């Protein structure tokens, strides 16, 4: 099958031929053949380097000398939302209070998971066009401490994909560290496309279908020692959303359920490609693609939803005031280019261009914006 359609969506992204070919090969049975665990360990080794690329310390990548910055990597069988839910399910006991920082749809979603699992979600909200406010976070934590019921877990999103907003995590993490708060970060649409300070995050969540450019189906997690301590101390009435069994899965050569073997081999190849290109080069490629996309948008009279300082290097959200679905359909049907609309209440008003993974290339952005400019002139 020949498919020349250009899919410039913010996930799932275009999958390179090498990944597709690897997934078509026979794979060891993940339940009974030890060879599969060699593949899994190779994948987690690759992911360790990708997660470490955003380290805010001077510690060399892959070093195991500092338990405060070391992170264990696990790969779950399930789309990226599984990681968000599993993180909450694995650290939360009924009645626990969690500070949920939100400037978008997925930040709000963390709050819903907290409520679903019997906790109390304390929302600390910012404008969806702006980044999270560290002063507001500090005020909420101090207020909670003053009432004698301090908060010890907080959630946040690095890149809010629906609005193309990238949060500056460092000042937020400074505040959380000052208050000894365990951090959970959704880095699903930033990991592999821009640095993520994983060494300062207790549970950092990624997925296969965004900047890594593998098919959807796998969740990745980087987990700190103190997060494991809390996970092991939490009684979880779930198998699929319980992170605890994954801590020793590779060493024990036993998974809590049959793993997605072809997806694992495909993700191994996808991460090989990233490491071969070099992560600094990849980050620069994403920045260049994002800048080109926003510049071209301005040329055709479109504004970004996020402020310039908050704009993500992996996805651009354009304001189109009630025309998003119409423009999406014309781009797909007449130009063979697939874009995404906004989500929820913004479905008609935002058109999103995903310049992430292997689509973060200037020529693909130019092809997309040439077509969009032509559609707007019609």
- CATH number assigned to the domain comprising residue 268: 3.40.640.10
Give the Cα separation of 145 and 155 in Å (integer).
18
Among 364, 332, 338, CA closest to 352: 338
Backbone angles phi, psi at 91, to 5 degrees: -115, -5
Based on the domain organization, do 205 and 324 belong to the same domain? no
Angle at 300 between CA 356 and CA 374, to 5 degrees: 85
Domain limits for position 312? 6-12+279-377
Q: pLDDT tens track of the chain, all 378 residues?
A: 457 899 999 999 999 999 999 999 999 999 999 999 999 999 999 999 999 998 865 444 443 345 567 899 999 999 999 999 999 999 999 999 999 999 999 999 999 999 999 999 999 999 999 999 999 999 999 999 999 888 999 999 999 999 999 999 999 999 999 999 999 999 999 999 999 999 999 999 999 999 999 999 999 999 999 999 999 999 998 999 999 999 999 999 999 999 999 999 999 999 999 999 999 999 999 999 999 999 999 999 999 999 999 999 999 999 999 999 999 999 999 999 999 999 999 999 999 999 999 999 999 999 999 999 999 998
CB proximity list for 279: less than 8 A, separation 6 or greater: 49, 50, 53, 192
Contact present, 16 and 266 (Cβ < 8 Å): no
Task: Say what the pLDDT of residue 4 is.
Answer: 86
Helix (H, G, I), strand (E, B) or coil at 258: coil
What are 159's two structure tokens? Answer: 């890149």
Domain membership flag for residue 183:
yes
Among 279, 276, 375, CA closest to 323: 375
Based on the domain organization, do 235 and 345 belong to the same domain? no
Task: Say what the pLDDT of residue 65 is.
Answer: 43
Q: Where are the beta strands (DSSP E) in 208-294?
A: 218-223
H/E stretch holding 4: none
Task: Say what the pLDDT of residue 219 is.
Answer: 98
CATH code, 346: 3.90.1150.10
Domain membership flag for residue 308:
yes
Contact present, 312 and 196 (Cβ < 8 Å): no
Based on the domain organization, do 264 and 294 belong to the same domain? no
Task: Say what the pLDDT of residue 2 is.
Answer: 53
Based on the domain organization, do 292 and 217 belong to the same domain? no
Domain membership flag for residue 250:
yes
DSSP letter for each residue of 329-367: HHHHHHH-EE-EE--GGGTTTEEEEE--GGG--HHHHHH
DSSP letter for each residue of 34-101: THHHHHHHHHHHHHHHHHHTT-SSSPPTT--S-TTT--EEEEEES-THHHHHHHHHHH--TT-EEEEE
H/E stretch holding 366: helix 362-377
Structure-derived torsion over alpha carbons of residues 171, 103, 217, 341, reported in degrees to the nearest 10: -140
Last residue of a domain, one of 224, 244, 276: 276
Q: The tokens 């098919």 sit on which residue?
A: 215
Based on the domain organization, do 255 and 166 belong to the same domain? yes
Among 204, 232, 236, 231, CA closest to 220: 204
CB proximity list for 267: less than 8 A, separation 6 or greater: 43, 75, 208, 212, 214, 218
Domain membership flag for residue 1:
no
Tally of domains within the chain: 2
Based on the domain organization, do 88 and 153 belong to the same domain? yes
Domain membership flag for residue 159:
yes
Task: Say what the pLDDT of residue 1 is.
Answer: 44
Backbone angles phi, psi at 270, to 5 degrees: -60, -40
Helix (H, G, I), strand (E, B) or coil at 289: helix
Last residue of a domain, one of 276, 309, 337: 276
Longest dimension (CA), the chain: 64
Among 170, 189, 188, CA closest to 317: 189
Give the Cα separation of 366 and 363 in Å (integer).
5
Give the Cα separation of 161 and 105 in Å (integer).
9
- Beta strand pairing status for 218-223 and 203-207? antiparallel
Task: Say what the pLDDT of residue 61 is.
Answer: 42
Task: Say what the pLDDT of residue 162 is.
Answer: 97
Task: Say what the pLDDT of residue 366 is.
Answer: 98
Based on the domain organization, do 260 and 115 belong to the same domain? yes
What are 221's two structure tokens? Answer: 């997690």
Based on the domain organization, do 327 and 231 belong to the same domain? no
Helix (H, G, I), strand (E, B) or coil at 14: coil
Question: Rg of the chain over CA atoms, in angstroms?
Answer: 20
Asked, as a colleague might, if the bond just before 12 is cis with ω within 30 of 0, I would say yes
């Amino acid at each position: 099958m020949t498919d020349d359609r250009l899919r410039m969506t913010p996930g799932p992204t275009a999958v390179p031929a090498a990944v597709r070919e690897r997934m078509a090969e026979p794979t060891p049975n993940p339940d009974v053949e030890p060879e599969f665990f060699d593949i899994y360990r190779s994948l987690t080794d690759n992911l360790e380097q990708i997660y470490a690329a955003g380290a805010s310390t001077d510690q060399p990548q892959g070093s195991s000398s500092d338990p405060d910055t070391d992170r264990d990597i696990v790969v779950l069988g399930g789309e990226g939302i599984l990681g968000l839910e599993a993180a909450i399910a694995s650290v939360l006991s009924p009645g626990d209070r969690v500070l949920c920082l939100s400037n978008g749809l997925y930040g709000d979603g963390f709050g819903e998971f907290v409520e679903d699992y019997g906790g109390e979600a304390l929302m600390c909200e910012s404008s969806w066009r702006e980044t999270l406010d560290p002063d507001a976070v500090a005020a909420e934590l101090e207020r909670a401490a003053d009432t004698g019921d301090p908060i010890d877990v907080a959630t946040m999103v690095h890149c809010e994909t629906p609005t193309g907003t990238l949060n500056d995590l460092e000042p937020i993490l400074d505040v959380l560290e000052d208050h000894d708060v365990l951090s959970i970060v959704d880095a699903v649409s930033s990991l592999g496309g821009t640095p993520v300070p994983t060494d300062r995050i207790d549970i950092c969540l990624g997925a296969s279908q965004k900047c890594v450019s593998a098919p959807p189906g796998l969740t990745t997690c980087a987990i700190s020692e103190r997060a494991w301590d809390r996970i092991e101390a939490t009684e979880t009435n779930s198998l699929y959303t319980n992170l605890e069994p994954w801590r020793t899965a590779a060493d024990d050569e036993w998974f809590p359920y049959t793993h997605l073997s072809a997806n694992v081999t495909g993700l191994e190849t996808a991460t090989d490609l990233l490491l071969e290109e070099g992560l600094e080069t990849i980050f620069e490629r994403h920045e260049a693609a994002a800048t080109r996309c926003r510049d071209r948008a301005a040329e055709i009279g479109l504004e970004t939803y996020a402020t310039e300082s908050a704009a993500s290097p992996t996805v651009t959200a354009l304001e189109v005031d009630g025309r998003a679905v119409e423009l999406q359909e014309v781009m797909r049907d007449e130009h063979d280019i697939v874009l995404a609309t906004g989500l929820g209440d913004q479905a008609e008003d935002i058109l999103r261009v995903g310049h992430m993974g292997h689509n973060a290339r200037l020529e693909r952005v130019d092809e997309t914006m040439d077509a969009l400019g032509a559609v707007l002139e019609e």
